[in-house]
Amino acid sequence: MARLIWLMGASGSGKDSLLLALRECAPDRVVVAHRYITRSASAGGENHVALSEQEFLRRREFGLFALEWQAHQFYYALGTEIDLWLDSGLDVLVNGSRRHLAIAQQRYGERLLPVCLQVTPSVLASRLQQRGREDRAEIARRMLRAAEPIAPGCLTLNNDGALEQTLRDFQRLIGQ
C-alpha cells in the first residue's frame, strides 16, 4: 500500500534541507510533493509553488487541493496530484504541519505515515541563530513550540548530525 509520508519538525530542524536532498536521491518509489503556498517563491525556505491569495482561493474552489490549511498568515495546500501518485503505488513525501496532522489522518487513515524530524535543543537553537531570520523573542517562541510532545504514532528521525546520515536513517525508517 502506498503511503503519504507526512514529514514534520520544528522550524530549524532541517526539513527543507532533507526534502531538497530527497528530491535528488529519493528512495525507490518515493516522490517529494511541492506545497502550494501564498508566499513569494523568493521568500526563502522550502521549494514551493507560490500562489497569490486570489489564485489559491480559485484553485480551492475548483477542487484542486487534496489538503489545505492556514498557518503563519499564509494558506498552504497539497495538490490532488498526490492522490494520483498514491493511487499509482508511489509513496509521497510531503512537508506536513504538526498542527494539521489530524486533517491528514482523517483523509488518509492507515495510508498516512507521520515522521517527526527531531534535533536536540542546543542544535536547534544554534541553527535558528545562524540563519538570522528571527530575533531572540521569536527564537524563544520557536524553542518552546519545539519542546511540545510529538504526536502519538509518529516515527522519529534525528537530524543532529550530517545530512547524509539523516538520509540513510530516513531510508531505513520507511523500509527502503
Model pLDDT for residues 63-104, shown as the tens digit of each residue? 999 999 998 789 999 999 999 999 999 999 999 988 899 999
By the 10 Å C-beta count (0-12 exposed, 13-18 middle, 19+ buried), 64 is classed as middle
Q: Which three cell numbers stand for residue 162?
A: 550530517
Q: Is the pLDDT of residue 19 over 70?
A: yes
- Please tell me the distance from the alpha carbon of residue 127 to that of residue 133, in angstroms, as a whole number: 10
Beta-bridge partner residues of 115? 7, 155
- Per-residue confidence (pLDDT) for residue 66, from 0 to 100: 97
3-state secondary structure of 68: strand
166 — pLDDT class (breaks 50, 70, 90): very high
Residues contacting 68, CB < 8 A, separation 6+: 60, 75, 76, 77, 78
Task: Output phi, psi for 53, to 5 deg.
Answer: -60, -40
| 116 membership: H or E segment, kind and range | strand 112-118
The count of C-alpha atoms lying within 13 angstroms of the C-alpha of 119, restricted to the half-sphere facing its C-beta, is 27
DSSP 48: -
Q: Is the pLDDT of residue 41 over 80?
A: no
Q: Is the pLDDT of residue 160 over 80?
A: yes
pLDDT: which is higher, 43 or 48: 48
Is 170:22 a contact under the CB 8 Å cutoff? yes
pTM (2 d.p.): 0.91
Pairing between β-strand 65-71 and β-strand 112-118 as defined by DSSP bridges: unpaired
- Per-residue confidence (pLDDT) for residue 18, from 0 to 100: 95
- Per-residue confidence (pLDDT) for residue 104, from 0 to 100: 96
- Please tell me the distance from the alpha carbon of residue 40 to that of residue 87, in angstroms, as a whole number: 31
| Cβ count within 10 A of residue 153 | 11
DSSP 29: T
